[in-house]
Chains A and B, each alone.
Chain A
């Protein structure tokens, strides 16, 4: 029995390493959980892309849920995500607000003109200051904000049809259920 002990130890280690590999293929190691979930969205006042004189604030958006999608023309993964937003953006049932992150206005406009504009409205954060309040660390990121201005769901990385179906839509459906008890 005690001769087998080292072997059991070895099996235990292999199992541990195997579990580590399995875990890391299932989970994005780079993903940082947002501490803002179920907390009020940071108060922001940001200009619109097409009318910079007009600003949009968190408080002006209160009342209805919406999805903020952080994007930039320099962001490669945003290009991967874009066709998905073009195809499914209208079907999610809440306004889609583009959050143009650390981008030049002309580049963003050209990008949207070339690839299409899935957004109901685009707001601009050229400095990236408000993005720090949102805990943005890489585009694309998406935030689902409810009618009371609370962040209810966040997705880091490109939205895929699968994520929209299995995570985003259920989250939006839950909001709709709350709104009509």
Chain B
């Protein structure tokens, strides 16, 4: 049993490190230090690859993704902030490159639609429950009938 678990952990570790090794093999970039590399990884993970549109820039093998990674890297070297780099890409490829769409008039439904549907559902539930409790009062309830709507 113990042996199995150790083997499992070893396999997992192997898988994990191959992933890292491959990730680096795709794109060796001359980072100055680890913090810069982490910043680069985080930034490219938030940007969408235009070619394989369900992949982010960090993971994509597409030719353009590689070009854009290099572009991001060079912008970082020239001292641009994350927001400036994002804006640089948005100016060229529209908001589509951002995995996190900005809140604006065209994305209001996207951002708040689910909340609106949830609220609508809550209203329906509350109304239904209240109506039912009025139509068929529970026998055990005392007859002061102070319906707070919380009997569900």
Q: Is the CB of A35 within 8 A of B64?
A: no
Q: Is the CB of A36 within 8 A of B92?
A: yes
Q: Is the CB of A30 within 8 A of B92?
A: no
The residue of chain A having its C-beta at the shortest distance from the C-beta of B92 within the complex is A135
Q: Is the CB of A135 within 8 A of B93?
A: yes
Contact with B along A99-137 (1 / 0, CB 8 A): 000100000000000000000000000011100111101
**Interface residues of A, CB < 8 Å — how many?**
16
Q: Is the CB of A134 within 8 A of B94?
A: no
**Least Cβ distance of A128 to chain B in Å?**
5
Interface of chain B residues 58 through 92 with chain A (CB within 8 A): 63-64, 67-68, 71, 90-92
Q: Is the CB of A134 within 8 A of B50?
A: no
Q: Is the CB of B50 within 8 A of A35?
A: no
Which residues of chain A come closer than 8 Å to B92, judged between CB atoms?
A: 35-36, 132-135
Determine the main DSSP class of A at the interface with B.
loop
The residue of chain B having its C-beta at the shortest distance from the C-beta of A35 within the complex is B94
Determine the main DSSP class of B at the interface with A.
helix
CA distance A63 to B128 in the complex (A): 69
Q: Is the CB of B90 within 8 A of A35?
A: yes
CA distance A128 to B65 in the complex (A): 12
Question: Within 8 Å of chain B (Cβ to Cβ): is A33?
Answer: yes
CA distance A33 to B95 in the complex (A): 9
Which residues of chain A come closer than 8 Å to B12, judged between CB atoms?
A: none
**Least Cβ distance of A23 to chain B in Å?**
14
CA distance A133 to B68 in the complex (A): 11
Question: Within 8 Å of chain B (Cβ to Cβ): is A20?
Answer: no
Question: Within 8 Å of chain A (Cβ to Cβ): is B96?
Answer: yes
Known: A32-B96, A102-B63. A138 touches B91 (CB 8 A): no
**Interface residues of B, CB < 8 Å — how many?**
14
CA distance A138 to B52 in the complex (A): 11
Which residues of chain A come closer than 8 Å to B96, judged between CB atoms?
A: 32-33
CA distance A135 to B89 in the complex (A): 8
CA distance A33 to B96 in the complex (A): 8
Question: Within 8 Å of chain B (Cβ to Cβ): is A38?
Answer: no
Which residues of chain B come closer than 8 Å to A30, judged between CB atoms?
A: 53
Q: Is the CB of A138 within 8 A of B50?
A: yes
Which residues of chain A come closer than 8 Å to B11, judged between CB atoms?
A: none
A32, A35, A127, A128: the one contacting B91 at CB < 8 Å is A35
Question: Within 8 Å of chain A (Cβ to Cβ): is B51?
Answer: yes
Contact with B along A26-43 (1 / 0, CB 8 A): 000010111110000000
B71, B90, B93: the one contacting A137 at CB < 8 Å is B93
Can you list 18 A-B pairs with a CB-CB distance of less than 8 A?
A: A30-B53, A32-B50, A32-B94, A35-B91, A35-B93, A35-B94, A102-B63, A128-B63, A128-B64, A129-B71, A132-B71, A134-B92, A135-B92, A135-B93, A135-B94, A137-B51, A138-B50, A138-B51
Given A32-B50, A132-B71, A137-B51, 10 other A-B residues pairs in contact with their CB atoms under 8 A:
A35-B90, A128-B67, A129-B71, A132-B67, A132-B92, A135-B94, A137-B93, A138-B50, A138-B51, A138-B64
The 8 closest A-B pairs by CB, nearest first: A137-B50, A135-B92, A35-B94, A32-B96, A135-B93, A128-B67, A33-B94, A137-B64
